[in-house]
Amino acid sequence: MIRCIISMTLLFALLVFASCQTDYDVAEVAPSEHLDVEHPAGPEQAEDETCEECDSEHSIDEQVEDSHAGHNHAQGSRNHGTQWFFNQPWAAPFIWGKLFRDAAIFLVLAVAVFIISGRKRRK
């Protein structure tokens, strides 16, 4: 029965999350005016491209922003979830909203699982 409760909880969480529009890859949900026209797929795809000169993996954006900084990554650019937060101030609300939404859902689920498993045990 406990397994059933956990499965139901996970399924519920899965459904809730799957129905949400935004996620941590801000590039997927960002308004078009904020995205680089040449790299519409966003930073994840851009990161996969390789600099021919040095044969190392860093983004085209980095080369533009940090072309004089040798092999250093752009500020915060290696953090997948937080890069937009630090590099694109307009994207911060997306991250905040996402974090708050997730935190609230996990908190509600935690309380629900605690109460349900406790009731089941007392029976």
Partner 1 sequence: MADTHPIQVVNLRKHFPRKRGLGSVKAISDISFNVEQGEIVGFIGHNGAGKTTTIKCILGLLKPSEGRITLWGNSPAESKVRNKIGYVPENPDYDDSFSPMEYLSMFADMRGLSGMGSDWLKLLKRVGLSKWETTGIRQFSKGMRQRLSLALALQSNPELLIMDEPTGGLDPIARKEFREIIIEENKRGASIFLSSHILSDVETICDRAVILAGGKLMAEGSMAQLLGEENLYRITVLSRKTGEEIEETIPEADLQSRIDHLRRDNLQITRVEMALKSLEDVFIDATAGDSK
Partner 2 sequence: MKAVFTFSLMTLRMLFRRRTIWGILLVILLALAAIASVPSFDVSNQGRFILDFGLFGIELGALLLALGLAANLYPRDKETRTLMPLIAVPLSRWQYLLGRFFGAALVQAAALLVTCLGLMLILLFHKLPIPGDLLPATVLIIVEGWFLLSTVFFFSFSTSPPLNWPLTTMLFVVSQMSVVEFVNILPSAPGLMRAVRMLLPHADVFHIKDPIAHGFEIEPVYFFIAIFYGLCYSAFMLSLALAVFRGRDLK
Footprint of partner 1 on residues 62-121 (CB under 8 A)?
Answer: 121
Name the packing angle between helices 92-122 and 2-18 (round to 10°). Answer: 160
Closest CA relative to residue 12, chosen from 104, 106, 89: 106
Residues 81-120 that bind partner 2 (CB under 8 A): 81-82, 85-86, 92, 95-96, 99-100, 102-104, 106-107, 109-111, 113-114, 116-118, 120
Report, in Å, the least distance between residue 9 CB and partner 1.
20
Report the distance separating Cα 43 and Cα 39, nearest Å.
Answer: 8
Asked if 64 touches partner 2 (CB under 8 A), the answer is: no
Residue 80 within binding range of partner 2, rule CB under 8 A:
yes
Strand runs labelled E in the chain: none
Residues that bind partner 1 in the complex, under the rule CB under 8 A: 121-123
